[in-house]
Amino acid sequence: MRSEAEMMGLILRVAGADERIRAVALNGSRANPRAPRDLLQDYDIVYLVTEVEPFTQDPGWVDVFGERIIMQTPDTMTLMPSDSDGRFHYLMQFRDGNRIDLTLIPLSQREAYCREDSLTVILLDKDGSLPELPAPDDTAYRIKPPSPVQFADCCNEFWWIAVYVAKGLWRREILYAKEHLDGYLRPMLRLMLEWQAGIATGFTVSAGKCGKYLERYLPGESWRALLATYAGAGYAETWEALFTACGLFRRTAREVAGHFGYAYPEAEDERVSAYLRRIRELPRGAVSPD
Pairing of strands 43-49, 99-106: parallel
Looking at residue 36, its pLDDT comes to 84
Contacts 24+ apart (CB under 8 A), 115-121: 117/27, 119/27, 119/28, 119/31, 119/32, 120/25, 120/26, 120/27, 120/31, 121/25, 121/26, 121/27, 121/31
3-class state of residue 26 by DSSP:
strand
3-class state of residue 262 by DSSP:
coil
Residue closest to 142 by CA, chosen among 211, 217, 214, 204: 204
Instruction: Report the chain (290 residues): mean pLDDT per 10 consecutive residues.
Output: 95 97 95 87 96 92 96 89 83 96 96 92 96 90 97 98 97 96 97 98 94 94 96 93 98 98 98 97 67
Looking at residue 71, its pLDDT comes to 96
- Rounded to whole angstroms, the Cα distance separating 248 from 243 reads 9
* Residue ranges per structural domain of the chain: 4-140, 142-281
Fold of 4-140: Beta Polymerase; domain 2 (3.30.460)
Q: Which CATH architecture has domain 142-281?
A: Up-down Bundle (1.20)
E strand spans, the chain: 21-27, 43-49, 68-72, 88-94, 99-106, 121-125
Looking at residue 286, its pLDDT comes to 59
Bridge partners (DSSP) of residue 100 are 43, 92
